[in-house]
Amino acid sequence: MNASVSQMTQPVEALTLDRNGARVSPIGSRAFLIEATGEFDLASQRRIWALSRAVELWSDTLEIIPGMTNLLVVLKLTPEDPEALALRLLEAWEQAESIDLVGRMIEIDVTYGGEHATDLAALCDRSGLSDREVVRIHYEGTYRVFALGSAPGFGYLHGLDPRIYMPRKTVPSLNMARGCLTIGGMQTGVAVLTGPNGWNSIGFAELQMFDPMSATPAVMAPGDTVRFVPASIEL
């Protein structure tokens, strides 16, 4: 099995193992990122969910952070043999059966366009679509919460139509409002904090996504299905 392991870069320190549709690389000394290298789809994410459940039970795991077809594992201590750890992760990936998380259906009322849709025009330019088409394509989509992250309760949503993919900005907006409905690359989501944001805003949603005092602080959970309801369209 070890024979198929390839060292991707020359320096010994740059530990990156790539095998059977997954790639492991370190972040600092105690964290390891395993990324599914195949399609950006639900099938990959289901295996990530299964992998997360397995790795969470390891005695040396401090924290698991599932991302978009990837998983960051934070260990309690820095391992002396990172390659053994990377191989253990890859083996767990190979054994990970697909699981589906049965989530809730969340409907979010959105004002498309309007004062918060600061990047709608740029998205039209890039896609060659009219603002009306961009908005329709967005609200006709059905999205799955793949992971939470970045800010408290922020859900990364999968299911964006490729026609309205839009790269993150090279210069982030300095003060994007909480509630902005945004597109970041092939992902979409609703901003949960006011502040710097590199995603592209096309509308606004009034929804409290997080309550630290609640037993379940985040409204969304991985596996949930999200639909956006066009409460109003201001173009």
Partner 1 sequence: MMEIIQTGPFNTVQDLGRPGFRNIGVTSSGAMDPLALKVGNSLLGNEIGAAALEIQTYPFKLRFSKAAAFVVTGADCGALIDGRPVHPWCALSVEAGQILELGQPRIGTRAYICIAGGIDVATVMGSRSTSLRGAFGGREGRYLITGDALQLGEVSSPLNLPNAGLSVVDPAYALADVYPAHDDGALVVRAIPAGEHALFGADAERFWSQTWKISTQSDRTGYRLMGEPIRPTTPVEMRSHGVVSGVVQVPPSGEPIIQMADANTAGGYPKIAGVIEADLWRLGQARIGSRLRFVRATHAQAAEAEKAVTVFVEDVRRTSRMVCGALQAMS
Which residues of this chain interact with partner 1, rule CB under 8 A? 8-9, 11-16, 23, 25-31, 33, 35, 40, 62-72, 74, 77-82, 147-154, 156, 167-168, 170-171, 184-187, 192-193, 195, 210, 212-213, 217-218
Shortest Å distance, C-beta 174 to partner 1: 11
- Contact of 98 with 46, CB cutoff 8 Å: yes
Name which of 129 and 151 has its Cβ closer to partner 1.
151
Q: Give burial (CB, 10 Å; 0-12/13-18/19+) of 39.
A: exposed
Amino acid in the structure at residue 174: L
What residues contact 144, with CB distance under 8 A and at least 6 apart? 42, 45, 103, 157, 158, 159, 223, 224, 225, 226
What is the spatial distance between Cα 183 and Cα 119, in angstroms, rounded to a whole number?
9
Name which of 56 and 140 has its Cβ closer to partner 1.
56
SS (H, E, C) 149-194: CCCCCCEEEECCCHHHCECCCCCCEEEECCCEEEEEECEEEECCCC
Shortest Å distance, C-beta 233 to partner 1: 28
Shortest Å distance, C-beta 136 to partner 1: 24
Name which of 28 and 128 has its Cβ closer to partner 1.
28
Name which of 139 and 165 has its Cβ closer to partner 1.
165
Shortest Å distance, C-beta 122 to partner 1: 16
Shortest Å distance, C-beta 234 to partner 1: 29
Shortest Å distance, C-beta 10 to partner 1: 9
Name which of 70 and 201 has its Cβ closer to partner 1.
70
Among left, alpha and beta (phi > 0; psi -120 to 50; other), residue 202 is: alpha
Name which of 112 and 199 has its Cβ closer to partner 1.
199
